[in-house]
Amino acid sequence: MVSYIGTAKEAPENQIDSEVKVFPNPVRPDYNGTIGISGLTENAFIKITDIAGRLVYETRANGGLAVWDGQTLNGNRAETGIYLIFSNNAKGDETLVSKLAIVK
């Protein structure tokens, strides 16, 4: 018997604020796994910035789920702080902003 758990998840038709979840949140110092963002529309574009608006990471949702390994674009672990997660659907007409706290 073989079992497989991937990073894709069925996507809702529309992004709704109350249904988008960022987990774990906050990210604690002893956590080394990935950070998930669920409830996104299919193939949503994701941009993660620090509180000053500097781009930290960008990706595309796989189905309705986006995954971030906590690494910045230059490969360093993200610093302690509040991060903003911007998402929009493929057409660009549905946008959403979520927050994430990282504690080192």
Could you report the per-residue pLDDT of 38-57, keeping only the tens digit for each?
988 888 899 999 999 999 99
Backbone phi and psi for residue 22, each to the nearest 5 degrees, phi listed first? -115, 125
Q: What average pLDDT does the segment 24-49 reach?
A: 92
Q: What is the CATH number of domain 19-102?
A: 2.60.40.10
Please enumerate in sequence order all residues whose Cβ is within 8 A of that of 66, keeping only pairs 6 or more positions apart, or say none: 36, 37, 40, 44, 46, 59, 60, 87
pLDDT at 5 over 70: no
Task: Report the pLDDT value the prediction gives residue 8, as an integer from 0 to 100.
Answer: 47
Task: Report the pLDDT value the prediction gives residue 4, as an integer from 0 to 100.
Answer: 42
pLDDT at 3 over 70: no
pTM to 2 decimal places: 0.81
Task: Report the pLDDT value the prediction gives residue 2, as an integer from 0 to 100.
Answer: 54
* Nearest by Cα to 85 from 75, 72, 71, 100: 100
Q: Give, in degrees to the nearest 5, the angle at Cα 44 between 6 and 9.
A: 25
